Structure 1
Amino acid sequence: MKLLNTLQRVAKRARQSLADKQQRQFIERHATDLIHAPVGEDRYKAALYFADEMVNAYQIRQWYEPMKQLSDFMPIAVITRRPDTALALRDECPLPVYYAPTVEDLERLVDSQDLRLMFYVNQNIQNFQMLRFNEPKHVFICHGESEKSYMWSNQLKAYDFVFSAGQAARDRLTSQLHNFDVHERTRLIGRPQIDVSYVAPFSPNPALPTVLYAPTWEGDRPSMQYGSVVSHGEQLVDALISDGGFNLIFRPHPRSGKNSAAYGKAVERIRRKLAEANATSSAQLFFDDTTDWGWQWSTSDFCVTDISAVAYDFLATGKPMFVTRPASSEATVQDSPALARVPSLSADASENAPSLIRSAITESNMDSREVVEYYFGDVTAGASMRRFITESLKLVVGDVQAEQLPLKKAA
């Protein structure tokens, strides 16, 4: 069996190597815009660095619109290291995409451009090949606010600055990350994604409340086992379908099933259940594998999610939600004001979800405004986007000049 697995891995690497070679050749012949470096005033002043494969593109997609609005003030590009990712982003990303497969390519780009700011959305090991350059200011923007241990990784020390959502992030870093000057190296920007207008791909039955179930993936180590699809998900979905009184958006994490075949199979079972029930249900049951993240917030009346960035994105809406209680005792669960005030949902209670959700929708939570402010600051329309743009420009042109620029309100 071990020999068979080894041979399969070797064959997979060989196929990937051949595909990479063919894609590189295609870029050199037919997608030369991916290796074009502008000159003069069009030279890039900032870049969004993404060295990952497309399975993790959800991390960069949520930054398209904030970066697009920032590009009104200076030229911005996306830097990618993989040929398949470069070609895929070329088709969907509203910003110029630059393909830099080698360190030498990165050096040529840095030498030819006026790069002053470099943004990072994850902790890919290839980030360090860009971090070796002293000139751009390196800023970690992450891909969402959460209480996962990822949020206080020691790797944050590698960046010049960390753009955090609100005071909660600063307090978290103060208590968890040693030898890190939080006030000097963090900038509070809120959540600019909430200031973007999104178009929903489906229309729920307006007579019924809409529930968003958006679990995270199974994790790649015991401390990150927050995913609820196996422990809660099927019971929860079965109960909501059987009740018939709720529209349902089921949005599994894009990485679901990558580390656990059982987790991936559970996602597929839920997909089939929704498709079968849709044929006869008056409710709209939607399996959400769209690339856009944001329309779900305004479409939904209630959310069930795990300890993940989704919980904090939905928190900013002020709408009610449940955060699932991890079934694994090894999952790291930190005390937090959000988790303390948001009701939790145990695996055993999943089958009673319809009645629990109905009660929660009718109740008012007076604590939510205080918690939202603690995690995100001012969430009035346009406020987060303006803070993101202002803090970015301060690092490029200085505090005084940035404050004098006429910042547009979010669309």
Structure 2
Amino acid sequence: MTKFLPAALRPYAKPDATLLPLGLALLAILPAMLGWGWFCLVLLSASSIASALTLRTITPLRELLALGGFFEVTIRALRLAVLLLLGARIWTDTAIAIPFALGGLAIVVMSIFTEITVSRLATRLTPEIYTRNLPIAAGKPPFTAKVLADGLALVVPELLIIFGASLITRSVLLAWLIAVLAVLTMAAGTLITDKVLRTKGAAFRARAISDVQRAIKDRHAQVAVYLGVGSSDTVYQLESWLATAERIPQETIVIVRSVPIFHALGKTSLPVIALTNSQDLLLLDLTNLRACLFVSNTGDIIHLLREQNPMSAFIGHGDSDKSSSFNPFTKVYDEVWVAGQAGADRYSRAMIGLRPEQFVSVGRPQLDAIDLTALPTTSDNYVPTVLYAPTWEGWNADQEYCSLLGQGAQIVERLLASPQRIRLIYKPHPFTGIRDPKARATSDRIIAMIRSANEQAGLNATEATPSKPSQAQSATEANELATAAGNKFFASLAPDAHVVVRPNSGLGIFQCFEHADALITDISSVLSDFIATGRPYAVCNPGTDSADDFVREFPSARGGMIIDRDGAGTGDFLNVVAAVTPDPKVEVRAEVREYLLGPSEPTASARFNEAITALIERANRRIEARSAGSQS
């Protein structure tokens, strides 16, 4: 059922452990209304225990609900309400309601402070330090501290109230004793939790950090690739660099600041460290580092920029004419690595204060993973393929380049109705609809149009379904397996079958490039990357500017045909794709390719590694100069 939901909501609609306590509490409502005390006792007790067992579970839904801050407290209040509903049916003396209501309410209120204590101090016991590909033994925390960190101080008092309210039907005195005992247990449990986690938990945390420190020292890492705090949706910003980072000749580590990103990160042979606590990162000795590469601008980069020894370089997570590609924040880095001259020119035109010597052209080494031999163009029944990959609507109106808010639906309508046989691959951006629901609505409409076109042609396959490679040991191998999976998937389809590629479907943008004869897109890094294939592309003009003004503002569009906001230009482009008319942009596209991506020789991978070596040498010279200055 989740496939019918917008992409932005789909991760939260999947059943997970977060819903278990809520589901059990809701199930207890009917037995409570019927006065079935034992049923309520079992269901509410199970709900309370499930709350403790899932307290530290990491899921997309829990991430979302954590924004409210009182999810667990709300469920606890729901359990109390169910108990009072049950009591109305089974208590022979209505005065019994007073102690259980007051005791339950006190526990709900006190649980707010208890949860603050547990969540704050539990990080000392189970520090959110996760590692991959590092020889660190996963030591077990002390049993008592582990149980307390899982919320024992919350469970026992609530179970006392649940058992008492479900079983005591006549004695008001006994009800008061149980209620008072529950409140005292909550208070004592909170104090004990605080004491134990401050001692045993802190000691365990210190050992964990020490193990990480020793592992880093043993590797003598000189290069760090860094991604700051963010949701799992931002993991692509780092994943696009993993294969490139694996080819860096110097020892390299990956540092992330978010547990969801760590768990969502694809395969890599590089050591990966997740440090969510700023204090943990600040305590680590990173003096061996000489180069820090940043893929995104997040406020927490200051925790690594403060290191004296390494030089910093912003490498970004895409190269495009978007305004986000020349963010003034970039001034904080020692160097800004751009793909080609176009990147430096963007910053220069924006006049944000970067010096010419800060720019280093490294190309786009990620594009080495694109297999340009995948298209079976020699087939007698060959049908050319157009990839439509619109960007999302951006965080604000200044970054709104999304054709789904303009000509997107018209483009797809004209393509599906084209007299030429053309296959469509539709791949919306993962963030589509986050800011503007209209973009998501148009995307859903396009998917419905594609499904209808396939059904009318007697074709069932609409959505890409290849699974992500799980057996890979590195990002490089994962890319190779992904290409093989993409080849197998497209080979299994009828030549005319249109395809929808949803986020996390197992088919990446490079696999779409490999099986596309042409591209329709917006101003985005997709355009800049696709131009490496040398194949035709069209760019959607999201505004009312003339084509000349549009190209003047966005030079990457110069090598493609322009599709106006009303969809005009789509037919001309499809004629080029179907070889009905010659391609008018062949020579210009070659010029734009070099302007955007730099020269073909030396390769982008070679230029990237040369830039790494040069940055390390700069760092060493600075360290030597600082040392000489301190001795004079």
- TM bin, normalised by shorter chain, reads 0.7 to 0.9
Deviates more, 1:319-328 or 1:156-165: 319-328
The change in CA–CA distance for 1:320 and 1:53 in structure 2 (over 3 A counts) is same
Q: Which has the higher contact order (CA 8 A, sep 6+)?
A: 1
What is the rounded CA distance, in whole Å, between the counterparts of 2:219 and 2:523 in structure 1?
42
Is structure 2 residue 438 aligned with structure 1 residue 262? yes
1:63 counterpart SS class = helix
Report the residue type matching 2:244 in the other structure.
P
Instruction: Output one character per residue of 1:361-404: Cα deviation in whole Å (capped at 9) or x when no partner.
Output: 53242222222112222125x7111101111122124699xxxx
- Once the two structures are superposed, the pairs formed by residues 4-403 of structure 1 within 5 Å of their partners are 12-14=68-70, 25=126, 36-37=212-213, 38-51=215-228, 52-70=230-248, 73-89=249-265, 92-109=267-284, 111-112=285-286, 114-182=288-356, 184-197=357-370, 207-243=382-418, 245-279=421-455, 280=458, 282-288=495-501, 289=503, 290=506, 292-327=508-543, 335-349=553-567, 353-359=570-576, 362-365=582-585, 366-379=587-600, 383-397=603-617
The change in CA–CA distance for 1:357 and 1:163 in structure 2 (over 3 A counts) is same
Report the residue type matching 2:323 in the other structure.
S
Between the two proteins, the alignment pairs up a number of residues equal to 383
Higher alpha-carbon Rg: 2
The change in CA–CA distance for 1:384 and 1:14 in structure 2 (over 3 A counts) is farther
The change in CA–CA distance for 1:199 and 1:173 in structure 2 (over 3 A counts) is closer
Q: Is the CA contact 2:240–2:317 (under 8 Å) kept in the aligned structure 1?
A: yes
What is the rounded CA distance, in whole Å, between the counterparts of 1:399 and 1:43 in structure 2?
15
Pairwise CA RMSD of aligned residues? 3.5
Report the residue type matching 2:338 in the other structure.
S
The alpha-carbon deviation at position 133 of structure 1 amounts to 2.5
The alpha-carbon deviation at position 60 of structure 1 amounts to 1.5
Instruction: Output one character per residue of 1:162-198: Cα deviation in whole Å (capped at 9) or x when no partner.
Output: 011111222222222243212x111111111221245
Instruction: Output one character per residue of 1:298-351: Cα deviation in whole Å (capped at 9) or x when no partner.
Output: 32111111011111112222211111001478xx9662443344321112125x
The alpha-carbon deviation at position 228 of structure 1 amounts to 0.8
Instruction: Output one character per residue of 1:269-300: Cα deviation in whole Å (capped at 9) or x when no partner.
Output: 32333234334255131212346332232321
1:57 counterpart SS class = helix
What is the rounded CA distance, in whole Å, between the counterparts of 1:105 and 1:200 in structure 2?
47
Q: Which runs of no fewer than 5 residues in structure 2 stay unpaired?
A: 1-63, 73-114, 139-208, 460-494, 621-632
The change in CA–CA distance for 1:127 and 1:198 in structure 2 (over 3 A counts) is farther
Match of 1:407 in 2: none
The change in CA–CA distance for 1:394 and 1:304 in structure 2 (over 3 A counts) is same
TM-score by length of 2: 0.55
What is the rounded CA distance, in whole Å, between the counterparts of 2:334 and 2:436 in structure 1?
36
Q: Which runs of no fewer than 5 residues in structure 1 stay unpaired?
A: 1-7, 401-411
The change in CA–CA distance for 1:122 and 1:354 in structure 2 (over 3 A counts) is same
Instruction: Output one character per residue of 1:234-278: Cα deviation in whole Å (capped at 9) or x when no partner.
Output: 222222223372111111111111112221222223233323433
What is the rounded CA distance, in whole Å, between the counterparts of 2:434 and 2:251 in structure 1?
36
The alpha-carbon deviation at position 58 of structure 1 amounts to 2.0
Report the residue type matching 2:233 in the other structure.
V
The alpha-carbon deviation at position 199 of structure 1 amounts to 10
The change in CA–CA distance for 1:201 and 1:353 in structure 2 (over 3 A counts) is same
The change in CA–CA distance for 1:291 and 1:67 in structure 2 (over 3 A counts) is farther
TM-score by length of 1: 0.81
Percent identity over paired residues: 26
Q: Is the CA contact 1:225–1:328 (under 8 Å) kept in the aligned structure 2?
A: no
The change in CA–CA distance for 1:264 and 1:292 in structure 2 (over 3 A counts) is same
What is the rounded CA distance, in whole Å, between the counterparts of 1:394 and 1:30 in structure 2?
29
Report the residue type matching 1:48 in the other structure.
V
Deviates more, 1:360-369 or 1:96-105: 360-369
Q: Is the CA contact 2:426–2:499 (under 8 Å) kept in the aligned structure 1?
A: yes
Report the residue type matching 1:373 in the other structure.
E
Q: Is the CA contact 1:325–1:346 (under 8 Å) kept in the aligned structure 2?
A: yes
What is the rounded CA distance, in whole Å, between the counterparts of 1:62 and 1:250 in structure 2?
21
What is the rounded CA distance, in whole Å, between the counterparts of 1:277 and 1:345 in structure 2?
23
What is the rounded CA distance, in whole Å, between the counterparts of 1:216 and 1:119 in structure 2?
25
What is the rounded CA distance, in whole Å, between the counterparts of 1:82 and 1:399 in structure 2?
28
What is the rounded CA distance, in whole Å, between the counterparts of 1:162 and 1:198 in structure 2?
28
The alpha-carbon deviation at position 136 of structure 1 amounts to 1.6
Q: Is the CA contact 1:322–1:344 (under 8 Å) kept in the aligned structure 2?
A: yes
Match of 1:5 in 2: none
Q: Is the CA contact 2:334–2:358 (under 8 Å) kept in the aligned structure 1?
A: yes
Deviates more, 1:391-400 or 1:20-29: 20-29
Report the residue type matching 1:367 in the other structure.
V
